[in-house]
Amino acid sequence: MKLEQVSPNCFAVINESNRLCDSNSGLINAGGVVVVDTQSDLGHARRMIELFSDIWRGEPEKVVNTHEDCDHVWGNQLFEGAEIIGHRSLPERMKEVADPALLVRLQRAVKGGLSRWLLKRLRPSLLALGDQLREDYDFEGVHVVPPTTLFDERLDLNLDGLEVHLYHVGPAHQRGDVIVHVPSENVVFAGDVLFRGCTPAGWFGTHANWLRALDLLIDLRPDVIVPGHGPLCGLEGPRELKDYLVYVQEEARPHFEAGRSTLEAAKRIDFGPSAGWKCPARLYFNVERAYREFRGDPPEKPWDVAGVFDSVYRLAKAKGIAVEF
């Protein structure tokens, strides 16, 4: 993790590994300080606080959660005195998708003994996922603290004269996707509306709405965008992600019409724009989302999460690349 100054009052902590859970955070150093997203576990959240302490040494007055995923909210408990802000959907959605007990059990299971042997025989994808997460993360001790200041479409903050605009743009990557715009400094904290240098994965929403959210990012004309994952960028970031999502839709359509399964389609589709990115086998996520749109499935249709990781694992094996999530 490293600290980068983005503008006179905006800073980012960038998680350089850029795999699952390796999320970024932000800080706006005005009006009592705003922290944007709180990391994936308590160790990373404390390291984020340590890095930000070079800029501010008190408790921030506000925390913004850009969406409901665990890697953006599991440090919330360390900000007891702060006003935590998020989209109105977050409290219920966090109950559904941000329960730490699931990953705690997985991390315990991969440590050894019978449980590890069973995973190796029956669910090698989950063994690989658990091993990857254990390299950097420890989810013990995390409890879910949802935002209490909720909004629908837009919330404006005035930080001692510095205007900050929060826009709900979901469902794109997730139901509660929010971007944080600091117009006077031409900065946007994009959350997981933007992945940079790693293949995106969307859980709740449609490619069509994700493309609209990326169009809004472009229309805001920021000089710097802090993505949810990956290095800082300018407008090339959302443009490249748009190109990727359109590429997947166009490549997936003939396979869908031919009646092939999502996994079979993903095996036949070249990685294309994502060939040099981290986690290219996440292509499966994006082909499956395209298939859901082709079928007219509702964006809230549940995913078989373990099945998704199985398919990403199988796709990586089929294409002869390293398994990473």
Q: Is residue 75 within 8 Å of residue 145, measured between CB atoms?
A: no
**Cα torsion through 225, 231, 236, 237, rounded to 10:** -70
**Amino acid code (one letter) for 114:** L
Residue 167's pLDDT is what?
Answer: 98
Residue 13's pLDDT is what?
Answer: 98
| Topology, domain 2-96+144-194+222-232 | Metallo-beta-lactamase; Chain A (3.60.15)
Of the candidates 50, 9, 2, the residue with the CA atom closest to the CA atom of residue 180: 9
pLDDT tens readout for residues 306-321:
999 999 999 999 999 9
pLDDT tens readout for residues 214-245:
999 999 999 999 999 999 999 999 999 999 99
Residue 264's pLDDT is what?
Answer: 98
Residue 300's pLDDT is what?
Answer: 87
As a whole number of angstroms, the distance between CA 165 and CA 51 comes to 25
Mean pLDDT of the chain: 97
pLDDT tens readout for residues 132-173:
999 999 999 999 999 999 999 999 999 999 999 999 999 999
As a whole number of angstroms, the distance between CA 325 and CA 317 comes to 13
pTM, rounded to two decimals = 0.96
As a whole number of angstroms, the distance between CA 299 and CA 205 comes to 5
Q: Is residue 13 within 8 Å of residue 3, measured between CB atoms?
A: yes
Residue 179's pLDDT is what?
Answer: 98
Q: How confident is the model at residue 193 (pLDDT cuts 50, 70, 90)?
A: very high
112 pLDDT higher than 90? no
Instruction: Kindly report the length of the chain.
Output: 325
Residue 290's pLDDT is what?
Answer: 97
**Amino acid code (one letter) for 40:** S
Which tokens sit at 142? 């995390």
Residue 273's pLDDT is what?
Answer: 86
Q: How confident is the model at residue 280 (pLDDT cuts 50, 70, 90)?
A: very high
Query: Which residue spans of the chain are classified as CATH 3.60.15.10?
Result: 2-96+144-194+222-232
% of the chain beyond a pLDDT of 70: 100
As a whole number of angstroms, the distance between CA 309 and CA 64 comes to 29
